[in-house]
Amino acid sequence: MTTVVEDMLTTYPADLGGVDRQKLARCIEECVACAQACTACADACLSEEAVAELTRCIRTDMDCADVCGTTAAVLSRHTGYDANVTRAVLRACATVCEACADACEAHADRHEHCRVCAEACRRCERACEALLSSLG
């Protein structure tokens, strides 16, 4: 069974310029999943009793959600493709995912939502790195 992302990539009427469709699809999907996880984690952190201890985690969650959402959007557009922009966006996304995973892992033993979010961030970081390395 294919995903919506895969279906949209398949139906794109022009050549994708040699971009690995599987890695691209996986990266878009992981970015969307990570953005959702980070948004939910920030919200869950705001509901914790010791919310003041989670300030960095909340901020990083929000930054990561924004960057992942933007990365998914940039990767979903192919007309007028600019490899330099794509590389820069992927690097930024991998960087913020790493930072967010680190922040969430610091609380993962006490907050299950942080553990789940950290895992989503690590998957997204790996997907960005995989796509980035395939771009040459």
Q: pLDDT (tens digit, 0 to 9) for every residue of the chain, 136 residues total?
A: 889 999 989 888 888 777 899 999 999 999 999 999 999 999 999 999 999 999 999 999 999 999 999 999 999 998 888 889 999 999 999 999 999 999 999 999 999 999 999 999 999 999 999 999 998 6
Give the model's pLDDT for residue 82: 87
Compute the distance between CA of residue 37 and CA of residue 117 in angstroms, rounded to an integer: 5
Q: How many CB atoms lie within 10 A of CB 74?
A: 17
Q: Which amino acid is at 133?
A: S
Compute the distance between CA of residue 90 and CA of residue 36 in angstroms, rounded to an integer: 18
Tokens of 100: 């967010």
Among residues 14, 23, 127, 11, the alpha carbon closest in space to that of 78 is found at: 14
Report the alpha-carbon angle 44-56-122, nearest 5.
75
Question: What backbone phi and psi angles, to 5 degrees, belong to 2?
Answer: -90, 160
* Cβ(123)–Cβ(27) below 8 Å: no
Q: Which amino acid is at 10?
A: T
Give the model's pLDDT for residue 136: 67
Compute the distance between CA of residue 111 and CA of residue 75 in angstroms, rounded to an integer: 32
CATH fold label, 20-134: Substrate Binding Domain Of Dnak; Chain:A; Domain 2 (1.20.1270)
Give the model's pLDDT for residue 129: 98
DSSP 63-129: HHHHHHHHHHHHHH--TT--HHHHHHHHHHHHHHHHHHHHHHHTTTTT-HHHHHHHHHHHHHHHHHH
